[in-house]
Structure formats: structure tokens, C-alpha cells
Structure 1
Amino acid sequence: MQIFKFGGASVKDAEGVKNLAKVLQTVGYKNTLIVVSAMGKTTNALEIVIKNYFENKAELKSALQDVIKYHNNILLDVFDNETHPIFKKVSNLFREIDDFLRTNKSPDYNFVYDQIIGYGELASTTIISAYLEKIGIKNNWTDAREHIKTDNYYRRANVNWEATQQNIASTFNKNRINITQGFLGSDANNFTTTLGREGSDYTAAIYAYCLNAESVTIWKDVPGVLNADPRYFENAQLLHQISYTEAIELTFYGASVIHPKTLQPLQRKEIPLYVKSFLNPENPGTRVGKGITLKPKIPCFIVKKNQVLISLSSLDFSFIVEHNISDIFGLLHLYKMKVDVIQNSAISFSVCIDNIYDNLEKLLQHLKAKFSVTCHENVSLYTIRHYNTTVLKALEEDKTVLLKQLTQETVQIVTIPI
């Protein structure tokens, strides 16, 4: 089988839905599983719904109506009239959100988040499946939650590989085109879970691993994996090929073109990954595989915005040693902080983190009981793979460097604008 993953940008409007079909017709779709994200910025819009549910009930109905209207506009552009059954199917999906919000008793934000957020993927795959049927591409819509089983770590769930493999092996029909949702799973109680933001790539890799697929292709609005994000860096260049190891390094440091967890299951079975443009599907894009060198061998730039740099020192000028560091990491784990950089000396310890779960104030209060604490919010973390002194000097211009860490192949700097 081959696995195709289409992100939200590829299906943000009616033309995107139609173009997805053109891509299939251009490159072929025999024995293919299509994994699709929510349309456009639907995930962001549903996050506003969830936020209003907890903080601003007066705006809740309006926020949900915006999501419904967005999808209805796409439906009206794709299908001939409102009597098509797809209109009722999509309406029923969004009615389920309303029903959940009216009856929910859980105060757990992360649980509520996962029960709501996945309706973007459920709606997009339902619409795309119906459109493919309309133009004569027979397909099987399947619910990823019935296949991918996880723990109940809501918003960043961990896959139960044994149960997932068993579910896919026992129910999946390999002999036709299938379409399913990225990002979603379910726990032992069949509550919806999610695999982390941008987790649809990971979904594609999970299915590829369990189905022993011959390849995975991620369809993007860029020509492939670039050496830098063109939103932040000028003159970004296409990387024609990279190894699994290099790709894992890039994603670990925050390269957004591939989800960080995607590569491990593919590498274990040596399944090649292609990143291609849905605008030019016949172009070769980037190949990620085993034992291939970075081509071309050029510096690769990664930036993560809105990070937090915390610097700690001991209150009595004693050394920060193993038990202190253990305590610090225990707190980072307790408050679900994603660690991107660490640096320590005899009496100080610095860590750059991603405050995904908005627990920063709780963490700081806990740390201040034991350490002298300095906190810089909204810092930028830059990583350069295969750096040289020229590119490093250019990057540091017009910035105040708060932290710098170099290894033979990689440099990381934490900065604020001057």
C-alpha cells in the first residue's frame, strides 16, 4: 500500500478538495490510504470554541456557527445542491459538538479539548470521501479512532502499538482506496484522544508501519523539505534527499515540515517518506530514507517562536548537581513542559521550554521555593544544522543572545530582538 497525507492547507477550500482528486488522478491511487487533516484553520477555530466554553459562554454559539458556516460554504461550492446527503452528514457531526458541550460534566480542559477538536478531521474526511464518490472514485471512509488506540494523555496521547496493530490487521481493507483522519485516536474507554498538534503526519506513519506500506507521501504547499522556513528566512532551498537520522534531528529541533514522531516507525521498517507539492504533484520533492546523504549539503535553519527561557541558580551558591537537576526535570514533567534546550554550570541551570499547557506560573512558583529564578518569555530559539561562522554571525545580527550552545554539527541560540 501507499499512504498519502494531505494537510489543512491542501483542502482549505472547494478548489483544494477538487485538487486533491486531481492529485490522485495524476499519480494514481490503487491500494492507497489517504490521511486528511482538518480543513484550513478549522483546528484554530475549534480551539476558540473550546476556549469560549470555559471562559466566555456568551460567544460560544457564535464561535461554533463560524465553523459550521465555513464548512457549509465549501459544501455549496463542491456539491450541486443542498439535497445531497453530505449536507445532513456534516450537520449531524457539528450537532454532536453542541450535544457534548450541553451535557459535559468534566472540568478537565484537556479532556474536553480532545472530544471537540477532532471534528475538524471528521468533517473534512466526510466531505472529501463524498466528493471522491461523486466523481467516480470509490472509497471507504474509516474512523481512525477505531484503529489507533492510545493512553488517556489527552492532547498528546501515546500509541498502544499492540492494540493498534491488531485493530488494523483485523479490520482494514487493503484492496480499495481508504480515507481516514489524521491526529485522532481513542483510549481504553473509547474517548477521543489526539496525538499532538500537526499529528496527522504521525497518523500516516502509524498506518504505514502497521500495514507494511511501501511508502508515505506528505503533500504540502511547498516543493518538499526546505533548508529553512520561507516565512522567516529568505532564499530557502529544496533538500532533494535526507537520511532518517538527519530528518529526525531536524524535527527534534522543531522543523515543522514533518511531525517529530513520524520518522521512528518509518525508520524501523525502512519505509521511505516523500514530501511533495500538491500544486506540482509530478515533481520529485524530497526523499527521506536510509543511508542517504544530505543533498545538497547546506546549513539548515529552524526557528521556534514564543518560547520561554528559565534560568535557575542556587539560593546559597551551592552546586547544582544530580539531585537538583532531577528535581527540576520532575517539575518540568509535572507541568507538561516540552524541553528544547538545557545548559548548566556549577551553580546555574538554564532551560528553554515550550509552554504548551499554559502551566508556566505554576511551574515558576514551585521553582522559586528552591532556586533563584529568572524568566524570559516570548524568546526565539534558533537552531542551525551544519552551520558555519558566516551564517551564525548573520543570524545573530540585530538580536540579543541570551543563550548559545554549540556542538560539532549544531548550534542553538536563544534570542530577543534588540
Structure 2
Amino acid sequence: MHVFKFGGASVKDANGVKNLVKVLQKVGYNNTLVVVSAMGKTTNALEVVLDNYFNNKKELQSSLQDVKKYHNSILLDLFENENHPVFSKVSALFKELNIFFDRNKSPDYNFVYDQVICFGELVSTTIISYYLNDIGLKNNWLDVRELIKTDSYYRSAKVDWEATQNLISTKVNSKTLNITQGFIGSDDHNFTTSLGREGSDYSAAIFAYCLNAKDVTIWKDVPGVLNADPRHFENAQLLHQISYREAIELAFYGASVIHPKTLQPLQRKEIPLYVKSFLNPEANGTCVAKGKDLEPEIPCFIVKKNEVLISLSSLDFSFIMEDSIRDIFNLLHQYKMKVDVIQNSAISFSVCIDNNYNNLETLLQQLRAKFKVTHYENVSLFTIRHYNSNAIKTLEQNKTVLLKQVFGDTVQIVTK
């Protein structure tokens, strides 16, 4: 069986959906499961809806109407008959979302986030499944929430592998074309959970692992895995092949092409991952597999923006020992800070973090009780794998370097 994943950029409009069809027709779609993200920037738009739900109720319906209009324009471009059942199906999904807003009593933003954001994937896959059936590509639409089971850590749920394996093995017909959602699952109470932003790649890997798939292909708007994000770096080059280990390293440091969790289940069963262009589906793209050396061997650049650098020192110039470091990490864990870089000396400790849950001020208050604290917001963390002196020099040009750390064949630089 083959597992394909199409991201939001590939299905951002009616032409994108039609191009998805062309890709399937060119590369084949028998014994295939297709994982699809929300269309275009729908997740961002639903985050605006969510913000209005909590903070500006007057704008809630207006922002939700924008999401409806966007999808309705795609429907009108794909289906000539406005009485087609897909229109009522999509309308029913948005009605379900409104019912949730009316009935929800939970003040927990993370819980509400997952119950709302999932509608992007549910709507996109509904539209695509109906369209494929309409043009003769018969398929099964699967609700991924009935297949991928997780804990209740909303917005970053962990997979219950045993339950998920049993459900996928019994409910997925591997002999046909299946369409399902990325990014989401459900907990033991059947509330929707999400696997983290950009988690659709991970969803594809979960299905591949549970189905013993032959391979996974992620269809992108780039020719494959590049040595740098072309939005931030000039002259990015295609990596033709790469090992699981190297890809995991790149993903860990923040490379955006492959989700950090995606490679682990694939590596366990040695399922190759291909990253290809949906604009040129017959090109080779990038192969990620066991024992594949980096080709070509060139520096790889990664940047994470909007980071926070916190520097701590002891109030009485005493050493920062194991107990202090333990306390620091307990606080980072308590306030859900993802740690990207650590650097410490006898009397100082620096950490670069993601403030995804907006708990920075509370964290800083706690830290100031024990340490002298300096922090910098909106910094950029650059990582260079397989660096050389010219790569470092070029990156540091016209930037203020706040922290620099070199280890092995990797250098990390925090700049303002």
C-alpha cells in the first residue's frame, strides 16, 4: 500500500484539487491512502475564529463566514450543480461547529482549539472525496478520529499506538483508494485532539506504520527536501537522498519540510519517505531511507524565528549546580516551553525556547525569584548542519550574535 500526503498549499483552490487528481492519475492510486490537510490558510483563519470566540464575540460569526465563503467558492468551481449533496454536507459541518460554540462550557483554550481547528481538515477531505467520486475516482472517506487514538494532551497529543494499530488494521480497506484527514485524532472520550501544527505528515507516517505501507510520499510545492528554506535563504539546493538519521536531525532543529515526529515510525519499519513536487510529480524528488548518505554533501541551513532567549545567573554568584538546573527544567516543563538550545557555565545558564503557549511572563516571574534574569524576545535561532567557515560567516553578516554553540558537525547561532 502507498500513503500520500497533500498539504494545504496543494489544495488551496479548485485548481489545486484538480491538480491532485492529475497527480493521482499520473502516479497511480490503487491501494492508496491519501492524507489531506486543511485547504490553503484555513487553519490560520480558524485560529482567528477561535480568538474571536474567546475575546471578541461580536466578530465570531463574521470571521466564520469568511471561512465558509472561501470553501463555498471552491465548491462552486468544482461542482456545476449547486444541488449537489456535497453542498449540504459541508453546510452540515459548519452547522456542527456553530453548535459547538453554542454549547461549549469549557474555558480551556487548548481543548476548544482542537474541537474547532479540526473542521478545516474535515471540510477539505469532504470536498475532495466527493469531487473524486464525481469524476470516477471511487474512494472511501474515513474519519481519522475513529482511527488514530491519543491521550488528552490537546494541541500536542501523543498517539496510543496499540489502540490505533487495532483500529486501522480492522477499519481501513487497503485494496482501494482512501481519503482521510491529517493532523487530528481523538482521545478516550472521543473529543478531538490534534498532533501539533504541521502534524499531517505525522498522520501519514502513523498510517504507513500501521498498514505496513510500501512507502510514504509527501507532496509539496518544492521539488523535495532542500538544504535551506527558500523563503529565508537564497540559492537553496535540492537534496537528492538523505538518511533517516540526518532527516531526524534536520527535523529536530526545525526544518519545515518534514515534521519532527514523522520519521520515527517510518524508521522502525524501514519504510522509505519521498518528498516530491505536486507541480512535477514524475520528478524524483528526495528519498529518505535507511543508510542513504546526504547527497550532495553541502551545509544545511535551518531558521526558527520568534524565539525567546533567556539568560540566568545566580543572585549570589554561586555555581548553578544540578539542583538549580533541575528547578529550571521543572519550570520549563510546567509552562510548556519547548527547549531548542541550552548553554551553561559555572554561574550562568542560557536557554532558547518556543513560547507557543504564551506563558513567558509567568515563567519569568518564577525564575526571577531565584535568579538574575535577562531575556530577549523575537530572536532568531539558526542551525547549520555540516557547516563550514564560509557558511557561518555568511549567516552572521549584519546580525547581532547573542549566543553561539558548536558541537560535532552542527553550529547553532541565536541572533537579534
Give the TM-score category using the shorter length: over 0.9
| Alpha-carbon distance in 2 for matches of 1:327, 1:150 | 29
Distance 1:315 1:189 in 2: 47
Distance apart, 1:81 and its partner CA: 1.9
The one-letter amino acid paired with 1:395 is: L
Cα drift, residue 129 of structure 1? 0.2
Q: TM-score, normalised by structure 1?
A: 0.99
The 2-side partners of 1:408 and 1:222 are apart by 29
Q: Which whole-Å CA distance do the structure 2 matches of 1:364 and 1:98 have between them?
A: 38
Structure 2 CA distance, aligned partners of 1:234 and 1:171?
Answer: 46
Compute the displacement of 1:391 (Å): 1.0
Alignment map for 1:4-403 (pairs within 5 Å): 4-403=4-403
Amino acid at match of 2:85: P
**Per-residue deviation, 1:291:** 0.6
Helix, strand or coil for the counterpart of 2:225? coil
Alpha-carbon distance between aligned partners in 1 of 2:222 and 2:14, rounded to the nearest angstrom: 20
Relative to the length of structure 2, the TM-score reads: 1.00
Give the counterpart letter for 1:116 in structure 2: V
Secondary structure class of the residue paired with 2:400: strand
Aligned residues: 416
CA distance in 1 between partners of 2:319 and 2:96 (Å): 56
- Identity rate, percent: 76
Deviations 1:302-344 (A, max 9, x none): 0000000000011111111111111111111110011100000
- Tell me the CA shift for residue 211 of structure 1: 0.3
What whole-Å deviation, never above 9, does each CA across 1:345-392 have from its counterpart, x for those lacking one?
000000000011111111111111111110100000000000001110
2-structure distance, mates of 1:56, 1:341? 37
Cα distance in structure 1, aligned partners of 2:315 and 2:79: 67
Gaps of 5+ in 2: none
CA apart distance, 1:170: 1.6
Per-residue deviation at 1:410?
0.2
Residue 4 of structure 1 deviates from its aligned partner by: 0.2
Note the C-alpha offset of 1:148: 0.4
Q: Distance in 1 between matches of 2:39 and 2:388?
A: 40
What is the identity, as a one-letter code, of the residue corresponding to 2:354? D
Q: Distance in 1 between matches of 2:372 and 2:318?
A: 12
RMSD: 0.5
> For 1:283, what is the secondary structure of its paired residue?
coil
1:169 CA drift (Å): 1.1
Distance in 2 between residues matched to 1:391 and 1:176, nearest whole Å: 48
Poorly superposed stretches of 4+, deviation over 6 Å: none
Deviations 1:41-65 (A, max 9, x none): 0000000000110111111110100
Q: Give the letter aligned to residue 244 of structure 1.
A: Y
Q: Hey, what's the Cα distance between the residues in 2 that align with 1:303 and 1:336? A: 21
1: CA distance, partners of 2:97 / 2:292: 46
Question: Whole-Å Cα distance in 2 between the matches of residues 171 and 8 of structure 1?
Answer: 26
**Matched residue type, 2:81:** N
Give the Cα separation in 2 of the matches to 1:88 and 1:372. 59
Q: Work out the CA distance in 2 between the residues paired with 1:39 and 1:292.
A: 33
**One-letter code aligned to 2:385:** R
Cα distance in 2 between the residues matched to 1:240 and 1:132: 32
Q: CA deviation at 1:171?
A: 1.3
